[in-house]
Amino acid sequence: MEKRTKSLILGDRIIWVVIVFLSFISLIEVYSSIGKAAYDHGWSISATVVKHVVIVVVSYILMIGISHVPFKWFSGMSKLGFWLCLIMMGVMVVIAFSSKLTGAADGHAASRWLDDIPIIGQFQPSEIAKFVLLIFLARQISKYRESLKEGDTFKKLILPVVVISALIFPENFSTAALVFLSCIVLMYVGGVNKKYLLWTLAVVVALVGIFLLCSFVFKLSVFRSETWVNRINDWLNSDKDAMTQTNIAKIAIASGGLPGVGIGNTVQGRYLNESHTDFIYSVITEEMGLVWVLLIIAAYLIFFIRCMSVSRNCDSFFGQLTVAGLGFLITFQAMVNMGVATGYLPVTGQTLPLVSYGGTSYVLTCCAVGVILSVSNHNAKKKRLAQQQVVETEQAETENSNTEKNTENESDN
C-alpha cells in the first residue's frame, strides 16, 4: 500500500507538504468565512463548503495526473493551448463589448466568466490563459535560445504576451498586469536582451498611466476604468475612519493579535464582501493569529525556493523556464493578495492561491503545480539514473580488479 502511494505522489516532497498545508488552511477558513457571501447570494453554506471540498479533491486528482506526464509534452501542448486561449479571450472581449452596448453589464459584475457550462458552471478563461501563456513563452524562449539578444527574436516573444495581456486587460486589469510582469521576469531570467525589456516595460507603464490619468481627469468610462480609478484613488487618499473594505481588512488583521480570536469567531470578516476570496488572508489573521499567518507566508516562500531549486536542477532549458515562471507567478499572486489585505496595494481582486474559494483559480493553480512536480520528477529520475550508473561503474571496476588479481595469482602459481 505504501509503495503504491509513493508511486502516485511524484515530485518534490517539500512542495507537496506546502500544498497540503495550504489546502488544510483553505478547507478550514473557507468554511469559516463563507457566511456573508452565502447570505448575500442566497447560497447554502453546507452545499458551498461541499462544493469547495469537491473542487480541492478534483484539483488534487488533476495535479497527480499531470505530475505523471513527461514535462516535455507540455511544450507542444502549450502551442495549441495558446491558440485556444486566444480564441476564448477574443470571445470574452466580444461579450464584454456587447454587454456594454446593450446595457446588460451592471458596472460591478465584469464579463470575466463563461457561464452555464455543463457540469463546470462558470469558467474564467483569463485564469487558464495566464498559465498557458507562461508555458508557451518558456517554449518560445527555449526555441530561440541562440538569438535572444536580437530584435527580431524579441518581437516574436513579446507579441503573444502583449496580445493576451491586452485581451485580458478590458475586464481584468490586475490579472493582465500580473501576467505581463511575470512574462517580463521570465524573459529576463531566460536571457532576453535587457534593453528591449526595459523599453517595453517603460512604454506599457506610461500608456497605462496615461489611460488612468485621462480616466481620472476627464471621467472617462472605458472598460472598467471607473472602478480602477476609484480603487486607486481610495488607496492613495484613504480615509482611516471610513468603513471601506481595505480598512475593515486591516482592522481584522489588528484584531487577531498573536493568538487570534479562534476559528469561526471572526467579527470583521462578516463585513467583508469577499471574505472567502480576496480578503481571506485578513480573516485567517483575525482567527488564527500571527503565528499561523507567518507559517502561511513561510509556506509560499518555501514553495518559491523549492521551485527555483527544481528549475536549477533541470537539464532542459524549457523545463527550467517553465518551473521558474509558474513558481514566480503563483508566489507573486500570493504577495499581491497579502499586500491588498494589509493596505500596501489597492484592491485588485486577486485570490490567495491554493487558499481562497474558487473553482477555476484553484483547479488551474493545482494544474500548474502538477507541471512543476512533473519537472521535479524528471530531475529525480535523472539523479537516480546517474547514481545507478555510478554504482554499476564501481561494480564493474571492482570485478575487473578482482579478475586481474585472480589472473596474477594464477600466474604466480
**All three cell numbers of 133:** 501563456
The answer to whether the Cα torsion of 389, 392, 398, 402 is positive or negative is negative
**Within a 10 A sphere around the Cβ of 47, how many other Cβ atoms?**
10
pLDDT for residue 169 is more than 90: no
> Do 224 and 173 contact (CB within 8 A), yes or no?
yes
- Kindly report whether the global pTM for this prediction surpasses the value 0.75: yes
pLDDT digits (tens, 9 = 90+) for 198-237: 999 999 999 988 887 877 776 666 666 667 777 777 777 7
- Average pLDDT estimate for 49-71: 93
**Opening angle at CA 144, ends 138 and 148, nearest 5:** 95
pLDDT for residue 58 is more than 90: yes
> Do 282 and 246 contact (CB within 8 A), yes or no?
no
Please enumerate in sequence order all residues whose Cβ is within 8 A of that of 48, keeping only pairs 6 or more positions apart, or say none.
34, 37, 38, 357
E strand or H helix at 3: helix 2-8
- Entry field: residues in the chain: 413
DSSP 8-state symbol, 389: H
- Average pLDDT estimate for 155-178: 90
